[in-house]
A and B are shown apart, each in its own frame.
Chain A
Amino acid sequence: MGLASLWRYLLGGLGLAALLAGVLAIVYLTAPRAPQPSSDVGRSKTTANKLFVATFEPEKGVIRQGELESWLLTLKTVEGAPVEGAAITISGGMPQHKHGLPTSPQATDYLGEGRYRIDGVKFTMSGWWQLHFAISAAAGSDTVVFNVVL
């Protein structure tokens, strides 16, 4: 077998591999997707109806899996004024596991300057969590969803 024919086989093989990769890519890209962890893991965002700007972060700065923790939800108007006297309810869960939160977090304290302590937050598993906030204040009612990926 000459070198030239070997090269021909090699090129042919490469061509077939490329074709296979192409087919796989099409299958992958068009396949129905399971819910994916949102790449939107921002800690600060505008609420659904653009009434407030909400910031959600762990009070101690770090997230520890399996620990009952307090977080801070800071609410500002879009103009940047703190939102006071808001009524906040929290729900959520793990979309990929179709279950809710292992605890019932509550807004327990108002700390001034639009900051609310959200206590009783616990992430018992690694993965994609969602926290939904329903917020009612003088400006109206709005919702916001934060993604937390552990």
Chain B
Amino acid sequence: MSRFSSLLALVMVAVLAGCGRPEFSDAEKQTIASLALSRLPPLKPDTTNRFADVPAAAALGSTLFFDTGMSGGGTVSCSTCHKIDRQFQDDLPQAVGVGRTNRRTMPLAGVAHDPWFFWDGRRDSLWAQALTPLENPLEQAGNRAAFAHYIKARFGERYERIFGPLPDLSGVPANASPLGTDAERAAWNAMPASQAEEVNRVFANIGKAIAAFERSIAPPQTRFDRFAIDLVAGAKPKGDAAFSSEEILGLKLFIGKANCVTCHNGPRFTDGSFHNTGVPPVAGLPPDRGRVDAVAQVEADPFNCFGAFRDGDASACRELRFMVKTGPELVRAYKTPSLRGGATRPPYMHAGQFSSLDEVVAHYSKAPASVEGVSEVHPLQLSDRERAALVAFLKTLAE
């Protein structure tokens, strides 16, 4: 063989080796592994809710979750917006309870892993969160005195088996709340402090039962997870676990050039934190400044971790204790949502601003400035092919 032909052979071997190189580097494989559902740690106990893992409490909570009796007019339940067959959300840009709210309903899979609740984190526990829509005039539009009466009349025995004796409610007004109408507030203010405390206790326990139920709502395994398990094990993903070249490109962009994984990290694809990403406000809705206004609300909430209705000790309150309270970054900052199941539940963002994943990816590629505060996102200038690949990858998280 001549020197020329051996050189040619060498070049061909090199080219072939290049084609056969692994699709992902070791660092990429590590990142992909960190996103797999199998990496989701077991739920931590919630010491602020000693009923969090009590099956009877979860059972009562599930009854209450689906019960339209848990509302002012008897027509709205938690499940009106958190629909069980729709990933516990409602497909609407803004939730509609008794009235139309200004925020998108959040899905509930894996919600108990969150440190903060609502898009802006204005509550610090799942049970404190569950109480808030009950009294919001646009959501369930009830009041805590009425809820206490309703629980006693409708579920008294079940309640007492879990939480102990209900208080004597004979002197409690039919309708009273510190957050209600003028008449409800006046009735609340006329109640002796001990009676108000007793009603608050029943109200808190309603939240604790609903939270116990919600802890059971877990994200299901997806095509991405099956792909990730095989990839990390060194096996070739087969069947529906095999990714198309477009999906592979999308995944590479997601964890690489497009920087999605910076915030959408871990097995739930969220860092649980708050960011301004320049998502525009919706015309006609009340002003919405996100996290910056939620800080005072969670601090003022009598059902927060520092409040009288927490079980266990204050060592569970570190998130609240070490919360960032001020700073320009809180302006129009909203919680990073989990992307699991996202592809099948448009519209997107905190007020349903984008109707498709194409619009979401286009937004992050363009990265417009925020109307207030500073967006953390920088323009990416992704090509049409790259944007389509990202969407293709996101769909693997909902299959």
Inter-chain residue pair count (beta carbon < 8 A) = 56
Contact A125 B263 (CB under 8 A): yes
- Flag the segment in A20-28, A41-49, A103-111, A131-139 that touches B: A103-111
Which residues, 298 to 322 on B, are CB-close (under 8 Å) to A?
Answer: 318-319, 321-322
B4 adjacent to A106 (CB under 8 Å): no
By the criterion CB–CB under 8 Å, are B376 and A103 in contact?
Answer: no
Does B21 count as interface, using CB distance less than 8 angstroms?
Answer: no
- Tell whether A104 pairs with B324 under 8 Å between CB atoms, given A6-B4, A66-B266, A97-B376: yes
Distance of A68 Cα from B4 Cα, bound (Å): 63
CB pair B322–A66 under 8 Å, yes or no, is no
B271 near A124: Cβ-Cβ < 8 Å: yes
Q: Do A124 and B272 touch (CB < 8 A)?
A: yes
Q: Which residues of A contact B329 (CB under 8 A)?
A: 99-100
Taking CB atoms, residues of chain B closer than 8 Å to A102 are 271, 273-274, 324
In the complex, residue of chain A having the shortest beta-carbon distance to the beta carbon of B265: A125
Whether A38 sits at the interface, judged by CB under 8 Å, is: no
Interface: B327 (CB within 8 A): yes
Bound Cα distance A148, B288 (Å): 34
CA distance A127 to B259 in the complex (A): 11
The 4 closest A-B pairs by CB, nearest first: A120-B322, A124-B271, A103-B322, A102-B273
Query: Could you list 13 A-B pairs, sorted by A, with CB under 8 Å?
Result: A3-B4, A65-B265, A66-B266, A68-B115, A98-B376, A100-B329, A101-B324, A106-B322, A119-B318, A120-B322, A124-B272, A124-B273, A127-B262
B325 A104 Cβ-Cβ under 8 A: yes
**A66 x B271 contact (CB < 8 A):** yes
Contact B262 A100 (CB under 8 A): no
Q: How large is the interface on A (under 10, 10 to 19, 20 to 34, 35 or more residues)?
A: 20 to 34
Tell me the minimal C-beta distance from B124 to chain A in angstroms: 12
Shortest Cβ gap from A71 to chain B (Å): 12
State in angstroms the CA–CA spacing of A140 and B2 once bound together.
Answer: 78
What is the interface of chain A, defined by CB distance below 8 A to chain B?
Answer: 3, 6, 65-66, 68, 97-106, 119-120, 122, 124-127
Query: Which of A6, A97, A105 is the one whose CB lies under 8 Å from B262?
Result: A97
Partner of A66 from the list B3, B4, B272 (CB cut-off 8 Å) is B272
Question: Which A residue's beta carbon lies closest to that of B3?
Answer: A3
Q: A103-B323, A104-B324, A120-B322 are in contact. List 8 more A-B contacts (CB 8 A).
A: A6-B4, A66-B266, A66-B271, A68-B319, A99-B329, A102-B273, A105-B322, A124-B273
Per the 8 Å Cβ criterion, residues 42-93 of B in contact with A are none
Q: Which residues of A contact B274 (CB under 8 A)?
A: 102
A6 to B6, CA, bound (A): 14
Beta-carbon nearest neighbor of A105 in chain B: B322
Complexed CA–CA distance, A127 and B273 (Å): 16
- The chain B residue with its CB closest to the CB of A126 is B265
The distance in angstroms between the C-alpha atoms of A106 and B265, with both chains bound, is 26
Contacts of A104 in B (CB 8 A): 322-325
Q: CA–CA, A106 to B324, complex, Å?
A: 11
- Whether B323 contacts A125 by the Cβ 8 Å rule is no
Q: Which residue of A lies closest to B263 (CB)?
A: A125
Cβ B324 vs Cβ A100 within 8 A: yes
Find A103's partner among B262, B324, B374 (CB 8 Å cutoff).
Answer: B324
Bound form: Cα–Cα A120–B321 in Å: 8
